[in-house]
Structure 1
Amino acid sequence: MARQLTTLPIDCLYEISEYLEKDIPTIHSCLLANHLLCEIFVRILWRDINNIVDIIYHTSKSSSVRLSFFNTLIACLPNESKEHLYKNEIFIPTTSLKSPFFNYAAFCKVLSIPGIKSIVYDSLKILSIQYSLHVPLNYLIINEIVKMFVNQSSLKVFTYYNQVNNFNNLSFPCFPGMRNLSKLYCDSNLPSDFCHQLSQTCHNIQSISILFNDNNNASNELKKLIFLQNNLKSLTLRVCNYTGWVNIIPTLAKHSNIMNILTKLHLYCNSDYVDIPFSFIELFKNLQEVIFSFFSSDFRPYINVKDFEKLQYVNFPKLQILKIPYQCPKPEYLRKFLEINGKNLNKLYISEGISKPILKSDLNNDLNLSIANFCLNLNKLIIRINDDEIDMLKSIFISCQYLKFIKILCEAKCMSETILEIVANYSPKDFCELTLYNSKLDFIHPKNLESFFISWKNRKSVKLLTLIMISNEAIDEYYEVYNNEYYKNIVYDIINNCKHEKNDEDYENYEYIDYKNYEDCCDFIYHQNMEIIEKYENLGIIRFKSKVVYIKEEEIEFE
């Protein structure tokens, strides 16, 4: 591939390189091809330290590859840093004495101190250096590497979680290269001197994410850092206890500029703390995106956050995106909130909804009815549909005529066929993507799957449909006995149809199937359906994807 790239204009090469950020084998071959490709792709490799950690240090089994990157970091250190390490009797053998070809640190836009720590600890372990477990000496190395990066003007994103990684031994005298920082990810335990130095340099951070640790409020220096920002558009607050963000609210309330400019507010909290304040959100009238994440390890149908009672009546005239990835607030509060704010929403994610088996009521159906009544301009929607609420999907499709994407958390796998039928008959003309969570291809009768594709093909406005099915292994194991019975019924029906239609050839191929074997039935239906899918993919009617997850959190990410 590298040889083919050399024939393209340089503008095309830069454009292509943007799509290969995580394709390390291709990047590596381009680095070795010639000087031009090397100069282009080395910038992509070094742009984000997190990518290097994820790809090289978490997935690569080659210690030489991991060590070569560490050696390059050490070689790039300024002489002052190398002398400082030498004076502290830190001697790191490197594979080459040559000077680096590039100032690699100048290419870095995304820096993570935990990422640098992973690189240093992993490399010293490979080298079997005796002080690899000597924390102060390790932090001297980390400190010098981080100092090298923060002196570069290219830095845009910085991550510093101190409580989790205990970086109290780090010291940063100044941040000349962080003047253009646009994103900061940190916790409330940041050293005061760090916050003070950063507040002297950075006044145009656009996005700040703060993790509030147990019994640890934001320091005065951190609050000052927030207060001094002139262009803060996005704020994320994550709390582990009741006090959490309480003492940061006055700082936000005093800053009229933040109240007017802030457009994204993401709030994450443990649902055990129902008294945590939320009504302060009404200060930010220009919010365009809000996340309310109430996570509970128990099986509550919803979370009764008391402050949401006040928030339900607040109008946010510019709100376009509302995401509630886990439990909902009290249903009547959320319904009122949607009644007031639903008309402006174009994306709504209420992915957990209200679980019917846990609470025998129509609360989830009423919530979906509110979506159909008040959220008429949606183009993306994630909801829960319980097994006796499936007709509500028709109402949503009929009301939300701009809908292009929907992801449905199915209470039961057997709902998939009915959902497909409703999508074919009621989805809006521009609808083009359906994702079914807790669904499997082998839980759909091949006859019904093909019927859906034929219906889609015959629509007046035919758009390529992306169909995504996501199954959860934990749920599958729990319901294995029921699933097996369901599979057997489908297989039995297919074979009976062959007999009835006197299709002897197919019957001979199918009669070997063991009805009592769970895997046999599953594989049989799966392969039948895959043949149908390949047929309609080749016709340009659909695009199919399937995915298996083991815990729901992995699939709750949006977009």
Structure 2
Amino acid sequence: MTCQLPSDCLNEIFEYLEEDMHTLYSCLLVNRLWCEISVRILWRNVWNFGISFQQDQILNTLISFLSNESKELLRENEISILIPTPKLPLFNYVAFCKVLSINLISEIVSDVLKDELLSTKHLVTEEIIKMFANQITSLRKLLFYDNYIYFSFPHSPGLKNLSELCCSSNLSSKFFYQLSQICHNLHTLSIQLNHYDTPNELIELISLQNNLQALTLSAYDNVSWKDIIPALKNSFNTITKLYLCGNRSDLPFSFIGLLPNLQEFIFSFVGGDYFEDFKQLQHVNFPNLQTLKFPYRYPRPEYIMKFLENNGKNLKKFCISDCNRELSSSIVNFCPNLKSLFKIFCNNEIDILKTIFNSCQYLESITIWCGKHYLSEKEVFETVAKYSSNNFYELKIDNISHSDISSEDLESFFISWKNRIPKRMLSLIIIKDFYNNLDDYEENMKIIKKYENLGIIRFRTRTIEYEICEEEC
């Protein structure tokens, strides 16, 4: 006689599979109870679900849930995209959605109906969005970047529980006004600024937030976020995560010093020089700061070194695409509690890497550039095996030139890791780019598979885009 777990237990288990869509999808096929629980999680964020399945299947499913009025409107406009189904779906999938991406809906419609007129695509998109607005009772996250979409988001009762908003500043004033009337508890706000003048309704929406915790501001070309800063006054004490990105160095940064509870700060700029306004921050103390990242351009090294002197003690994660030797010394002197590090080392700086391993005994993960003017893979492997602490378990290598590691050197490193005490599995991650990496060679892969099977290492590859941009909304 089989034993069936209670639904609440199954639901607790399936929640851990939310990011593993393929496994969660297989749960649909076990029985009706498993299907009923897993389908709610899958459709909570249907856009992740859509990555693994055909867009036309998603669109057909969404079309099938349109109201009779919407279907009739499509017929009147001679839009023949309805596919007859023998029976209605088992569940109202739309009502399960907690995340809504307006632009992804538009992209799916445009891709599937690529041969149709633009007006046809807009009409189908509008009717689908109306359906979501009417049927979602509690929306958690809304993504709406109005690059190519020219209509307003309809009134929806589900917006009152919205906690995450990712938007651009050129949405209609009516949309921002609507949100400002009912959404006062946003936890996460990401704004892509692409208007020279920030709408007053958006400023009002920001000023009304009671517990804003994560803020992303993106400003490019001649656009600035200076008009938004006064609206943040009520959120200065609640913001714990700040992500700034753009391509200019003359944007105002001094307001960052007004955020006493900042825990995570990401400074992601692809253009600009010196960032002189950052100079005012070098003496500010952030007692709760644990993550500091400069993945692209960065202020003067001397500003960052002084900043680390004041704030490095509590840092757990530090990322900077710089090979300044004095800055490396600052990491050694001021950041003893680091757990994760990305820092560029030149080809004569293996001694600095050794010193960092000796000084940062809590270090668990490091990302290193290898090849050409930087450290070689062989010396990195040897240093990790000999000098990393017992807490270390993750090595990420980004080859900026062709890999020259031999299978003998690779196996020697794995043997050294195997003999370490205490024993701990190593996660080896290769960040893929345009060059051949160590996993591109058959002999190396044989060695990697051998030590994977022995449980010594776990091997993965990632794209450089995923590695750098995983913070965005």
Task: Give the structure-2-normalised TM-score.
Answer: 0.89
Shift of 1:169: 2.7
Corresponding position of 2:182:
201
User: Paired residue for 1:315, among 278, 281, 285?
Assistant: 285
Q: Distance in 2 between matches of 1:85 and 1:558?
A: 39
Specify the code of the residue in structure 1 equivalent to 2:237.
Answer: N
User: Paired residue for 1:556, among 457, 468, 473?
Assistant: 468
SS in 2 for 1:309: helix
Shift of 1:43: 1.8
SS in 1 for 2:179: helix
Q: Distance in 1 between matches of 2:118 and 2:407?
A: 62
Q: Distance in 2 between matches of 1:142 and 1:232?
A: 31
Instruction: Summarize the Cα distance change of 1:460–1:212 in structure 2 as closer, same or farther, 3 Å threshold.
Output: same
Q: Please show how residues 135-174 of structure 1 align to structure 2 within 5 Å.
A: 135=119, 137-151=120-134, 152-162=136-146, 164-165=147-148, 167-172=149-154, 174=155
Shift of 1:32: 5.3
Instruction: Summarize the Cα distance change of 1:100–1:543 in structure 2 as closer, same or farther, 3 Å threshold.
Output: closer
Q: Write the deviation string for residues 103-144 of structure 1: whole angstroms up to 9, x where unpaired.
A: 21111011101111123233434xx6xxx3142x43333222
Corresponding position of 1:238:
218
Stretches of structure 1 that go unaligned for 5 or more consecutive residues are 61-65, 297-301, 355-363, 478-521
> Does structure 2 conserve the Cα–Cα contact (< 8 Å) formed by 1:436 and 1:469?
yes
Corresponding position of 2:160:
179
Specify the code of the residue in structure 2 equivalent to 1:154.
Answer: S
Corresponding position of 2:232:
252
Specify the code of the residue in structure 1 equivalent to 2:255.
Answer: F
User: Paired residue for 1:266, among 236, 243, 256?
Assistant: 243
> Does structure 2 conserve the Cα–Cα contact (< 8 Å) formed by 1:113 and 1:160?
yes
> Does structure 1 conserve the Cα–Cα contact (< 8 Å) formed by 2:143 and 2:167?
yes
Corresponding position of 1:287:
262
Instruction: Summarize the Cα distance change of 1:339–1:87 in structure 2 as closer, same or farther, 3 Å threshold.
Output: same
Normalized per residue, which structure has more helix? 1
Q: Distance in 2 between matches of 1:526 and 1:200?
A: 59
Q: Please show how residues 447-458 of structure 1 align to structure 2 within 5 Å.
A: 447-458=408-419
> Does structure 1 conserve the Cα–Cα contact (< 8 Å) formed by 2:370 and 2:401?
no
Q: Please show how residues 393-432 of structure 1 align to structure 2 within 5 Å.
A: 393-410=353-370, 412=372, 415-432=376-393
Q: Distance in 2 between matches of 1:539 and 1:134?
A: 56
Q: Is the radius of gyration larger for structure 1 or structure 2?
A: 1
SS in 1 for 2:344: strand
Instruction: Summarize the Cα distance change of 1:439–1:123 in structure 2 as closer, same or farther, 3 Å threshold.
Output: closer
Corresponding position of 1:372:
332
Q: Distance in 2 between matches of 1:532 and 1:54?
A: 32
Shift of 1:226: 0.9
SS in 2 for 1:158: strand
> Does structure 1 conserve the Cα–Cα contact (< 8 Å) formed by 2:243 and 2:265?
yes
> Does structure 1 conserve the Cα–Cα contact (< 8 Å) formed by 2:427 and 2:459?
yes
Task: Give the structure-1-normalised TM-score.
Answer: 0.76
Q: Does 1:75 align with 2:64?
A: yes
Shift of 1:533: 3.5
Q: Distance in 1 between matches of 2:73 and 2:173?
A: 24
SS in 2 for 1:179: helix
Instruction: Summarize the Cα distance change of 1:81–1:199 in structure 2 as closer, same or farther, 3 Å threshold.
Output: farther
Instruction: Summarize the Cα distance change of 1:6–1:71 in structure 2 as closer, same or farther, 3 Å threshold.
Output: farther
Specify the code of the residue in structure 2 equivalent to 1:303.
Answer: D
> Does structure 2 conserve the Cα–Cα contact (< 8 Å) formed by 1:263 and 1:289?
yes
Q: Does 1:41 align with 2:1?
A: no
Corresponding position of 1:445:
406
Corresponding position of 1:512:
none
Shift of 1:27: 5.6
Specify the code of the residue in structure 2 equivalent to 1:143.
Answer: E
Q: Distance in 2 between matches of 1:527 and 1:68?
A: 38
Specify the code of the residue in structure 2 equivalent to 1:291.
Answer: I
> Does structure 2 conserve the Cα–Cα contact (< 8 Å) formed by 1:465 and 1:542?
yes
Instruction: Summarize the Cα distance change of 1:411–1:252 in structure 2 as closer, same or farther, 3 Å threshold.
Output: farther
Q: Write the deviation string for residues 273-332 of structure 1: whole angstroms up to 9, x where unpaired.
A: 221111111111110000001213xxxxx9311101111111111111111111221111
RMSD of Structure 2 on Structure 1 (CA): 2.9
Instruction: Summarize the Cα distance change of 1:405–1:43 in structure 2 as closer, same or farther, 3 Å threshold.
Output: same
Shift of 1:406: 0.8
Q: Distance in 1 between matches of 2:455 and 2:21?
A: 31
Specify the code of the residue in structure 1 equivalent to 2:11.
Answer: Y
User: Paired residue for 1:324, among 286, 289, 294?
Assistant: 294
Q: Does 1:278 align with 2:253?
A: yes
Shift of 1:264: 0.5
Q: Please show how residues 446-485 of structure 1 align to structure 2 within 5 Å.
A: 446-473=407-434, 475=435
Q: Write the deviation string for residues 53-90 of structure 1: whole angstroms up to 9, x where unpaired.
A: 4333xxx4xxxxx4443233223223454455556665
> Does structure 1 conserve the Cα–Cα contact (< 8 Å) formed by 2:145 and 2:166?
yes
User: Paired residue for 1:543, among 453, 458, 461?
Assistant: 458
> Does structure 1 conserve the Cα–Cα contact (< 8 Å) formed by 2:167 and 2:190?
yes
Stretches of structure 2 that go unaligned for 5 or more consecutive residues are none
Q: Does 1:391 align with 2:351?
A: yes
Aligned residue pairs: how many?
A: 468
Instruction: Summarize the Cα distance change of 1:171–1:439 in structure 2 as closer, same or farther, 3 Å threshold.
Output: closer
Corresponding position of 1:360:
none
Q: Write the deviation string for residues 399-426 of structure 1: whole angstroms up to 9, x where unpaired.
A: 1111111111235376111111111221
Specify the code of the residue in structure 2 equivalent to 1:169.
Answer: F
SS in 2 for 1:48: helix
Corresponding position of 1:353:
322
Q: Distance in 1 between matches of 2:414 and 2:16?
A: 32
Q: Does 1:225 align with 2:205?
A: yes
Q: Distance in 1 between matches of 2:403 and 2:145?
A: 44
Q: Distance in 1 between matches of 2:431 and 2:78?
A: 54
SS in 2 for 1:463: coil
> Does structure 1 conserve the Cα–Cα contact (< 8 Å) formed by 2:64 and 2:82?
no
Specify the code of the residue in structure 1 equivalent to 2:259.
Answer: F
User: Paired residue for 2:396, among 419, 435, 438?
Assistant: 435
> Does structure 2 conserve the Cα–Cα contact (< 8 Å) formed by 1:217 and 1:245?
no
